[in-house]
Amino acid sequence: MHRIAFDRRGFLGAAVASLVPLCARARSAEGWVVPEEFLPRPVLFAEPQEVGAIIVDPDYFALYHATTPLSGMQYSVGVGRGNLYQSGVFTVGAKREWPSWTPTKAMIARDPDRYARYAKGMPGGPDNPLGSRALYLFDDQGRDTYLRIHGTPEPWTIGTAVSNGCVRLVNDHIEQLYDEVELGAPVVLLPRESA
């Protein structure tokens, strides 16, 4: 198991250094404009992090990827709604481009009108709920948890608690992160402090 020291109050040691060279007018999902405050940006950490680690802070709708012990990138995310968000320590056990998607049995039970028609799965593509890329989170026993860090065909949901438990990014941003993350990378989904 990977252990990552993390203290919300001391995590960000400096303000945003500068914006990544992504245009604020970058378009996703049929012309939706990604607001400038949701663009990826470099950050400095107040305490060392494991290089390659991913840390998700659901209270700030932020995902941090450590590229050095004291610096990394911040991405804006959407997270699980209500009690569907699951905190914990995980590992990236698989990566997929244009992944297929099958709702879990729990999702179908919660909302059969919406999900039952996909019980046999949905192929990857622009309308797939997992978007263009997905990182599959495994537990410390090497089992798939069915939690994902993935893209979305609904980028306007970034910055909200809306998903069935997974962490979602704008497709352009998950593609950037996907290329930087290695299999076996540690992932920490911090607990919620706010209800």
Q: Tell me how far the alpha carbon of residue 24 is from its chain's centroid.
A: 20
For 55-71, what is the mean pLDDT? Answer: 97
* Residue 23 annotated among the catalytic residues of the structure: no
Question: Any idea what DSSP says for residue 73?
Answer: E
Assign 94 a pLDDT band (cuts: 50, 70, 90).
very high
Where does residue 110 fall: left (phi above 0), alpha (psi -120 to 50 degrees), or beta otherwise? alpha
Beta strands at 133-138 and 88-97: parallel, antiparallel or unpaired: antiparallel
More confident: 9 or 168: 168
* Residue 65 annotated among the catalytic residues of the structure: no
Q: Tell me how far the alpha carbon of residue 106 is from its chain's centroid.
A: 21
Predicted pLDDT at 147 = 96
The active-site residue out of 2, 65, 166, 173 is 166
Predicted pLDDT at 1 = 41
pTM, rounded to two decimals: 0.84
Assign 33 a pLDDT band (cuts: 50, 70, 90).
confident
Predicted pLDDT at 26 = 43
- Sorted by where each begins, the domain ranges of the chain are 8-189
Structural tokens at position 110? 């919660």
The active-site residue out of 2, 23, 65, 150 is 150
Question: Any idea what DSSP says for residue 181?
Answer: P
Structural tokens at position 102? 């099958």
Predicted pLDDT at 64 = 98
For 71-99, what is the mean pLDDT? Answer: 96
Assign 27 a pLDDT band (cuts: 50, 70, 90).
very low
Structural tokens at position 53? 């680690």
Structural tokens at position 52? 């390659």
> What is the length of the chain?
195
- Percent of the residues in the chain that have a pLDDT greater than 90, as a whole number: 74
For 117-127, what is the mean pLDDT? Answer: 91
In CATH, which of 3.30.460.80, 3.10.510.20, 2.40.440.10, 3.40.50.2300 is domain 8-189?
2.40.440.10
Residue 58: CA count within 13 A, CB half-sphere:
25
Structural tokens at position 7? 């203290």
